[in-house]
Amino acid sequence: VIAVARRQRSVHTDLPGRKNGREVPFGSNSLQHGTAVFEGIRCYCPALGQAEPRLAAQGRAAFRLDAHITRLLESARLIGIDHAYCHGQIRARILKAARASAIANSYLRPVLFTPQQYLGVDLRSLTFELAVEVWPAPVAAQRYPAGIRVTISPWRRPARTSFPVRAKATGSYVVSAVARTCASAAGFDDAIQLDPESGRVAEATIANVFLVSGGRLRTPWLEDSLLAGITRDTVMVLAREMGIDTAEGPIEVADLLDADEVFLAGTASELIPVTAIDDRIYGPRRPVFAALAGTFRDIVSRRRPEHAEWLTPIESQS
């Protein structure tokens, strides 16, 4: 469940003042110690693959751009990263990079990092800069039409008392990498990780988890160790609008195994059905997932007028 195919190159990097627009010193504290915060934002081109000129004219749009920028700023604050950017400046830089990349469906990756060469772990003296990289990103549903098989990882999320788990920091992705690598080696597509203290379901390696039981939609609450995903929020908003009984709460592994439907939700993953968790196989009937995934796709494709505020046009903004 990755945003970009392996070996695919990013198509544009906005990293002002650096050689070739790309080079960062090897001694950079962000590289040496994972001290950077970042976001992943999808940019959709509704016209792609459609024969409707009216939609083509509407061009590309970034999905929930402002929510992502707010989370980036919050991640920096939580980690203690000092920088000089306000919301509007970050927004302008992301849109500029997206425009310059000139690709239809992309994944925008703003990163607040330090180029400073320093091997300590006190971040107070370091200067952090914004870079934005743009990657091609095919629609995830096209890459995983049949859904995915996952395992329950032996590797749990970091404790909420070890790390500010609401922060999207580069260093903390080693936790996801270990779990995903281990799952892939065992033949699974992804892993579900548990909260280290409660032992309850937390999230997948780069996506949040949902289950459907008796027509009711449930997702782990933020009391456990998980990222407050923007797609997670999107799914809950849409579900409530669609009249689906929706709740955040404590979720045990047994709840997942007992569920009628399980799916993942994240920016890179979008909405992807889980076909099996270890040897528990789910049936192909997923009415709640199908309804939610259809509405989500209609909104990002602008086939429905609702939630236009979630789509920031790339071309006409400065």
Ligand X SMILES: Cc1ncc(COP(=O)(O)O)c(C=O)c1O
Site map for ligand X, 229-248, x if CB under 6 A? Answer: xxxx----------------
106, 181, 223 from 161: Cα distances, Å: 35, 25, 12
DSSP characters over 241-252: HTT--EEEE---
Under rule CB under 6 A, residue 266 binds ligand X: yes
In whole angstroms, the minimum distance from the beta carbon of 63 to ligand X comes to 10
Report the SS3 class of residue 83: coil
32, 61, 243, 264 from 291: Cα distances, Å: 44, 23, 11, 14
Of these, 30, 101, 176, 275, which contacts ligand X (CB under 6 A)? 176
Q: Which is nearer to ligand X, 45 or 230 (CB)?
A: 230
Under rule CB under 6 A, residue 115 binds ligand X: no
Q: Which is nearer to ligand X, 40 or 46 (CB)?
A: 40
DSSP state of 146: T
In whole angstroms, the minimum distance from the beta carbon of 193 to ligand X comes to 8
In whole angstroms, the minimum distance from the beta carbon of 38 to ligand X comes to 9
Distance CA 168, CA 287 (A): 32
Contact 313, 60 (CB under 8 A): yes
The distance of Cα 219 from the centroid of its chain, to the nearest Å, equals 16
Secondary structure of 21-67 in HEC code, one letter for each residue: HCCCCCCEHHHHHCCCEECCEEEECCCCCCCCHHHHCCCCEEECHHH
In whole angstroms, the minimum distance from the beta carbon of 37 to ligand X comes to 12
Cβ neighbours for 315, distance < 8 A, ≥ 6 positions apart: 59, 60, 99
What are the φ/ψ torsions at residue 228 (nearest 5 degrees)?
Answer: -80, 85
Site map for ligand X, 23-42, x if CB under 6 A? Answer: -----------------x--
Count of chain residues binding ligand X (CB under 6 A)? 13
In whole angstroms, the minimum distance from the beta carbon of 72 to ligand X comes to 11
Q: Which is nearer to ligand X, 203 or 224 (CB)?
A: 203
Contact 69, 39 (CB under 8 A): yes
Distance CA 165, CA 162 (A): 8
Joined together, the tokens standing for residue 129 give: 């800069």
Q: Which is nearer to ligand X, 223 or 315 (CB)?
A: 223
Q: Which is nearer to ligand X, 228 or 244 (CB)?
A: 228
Q: Which is nearer to ligand X, 115 or 193 (CB)?
A: 193
In whole angstroms, the minimum distance from the beta carbon of 62 to ligand X comes to 13
Q: Which is nearer to ligand X, 59 or 158 (CB)?
A: 158
Site map for ligand X, 191-230, x if CB under 6 A? Answer: ------------x--xxx------------------x-xx
Of these, 28, 105, 153, 267, which contacts ligand X (CB under 6 A)? 267
Under rule CB under 6 A, residue 153 binds ligand X: no
The residues binding ligand X (CB under 6 A) are 40, 176, 203, 206-208, 227, 229-232, 266-267
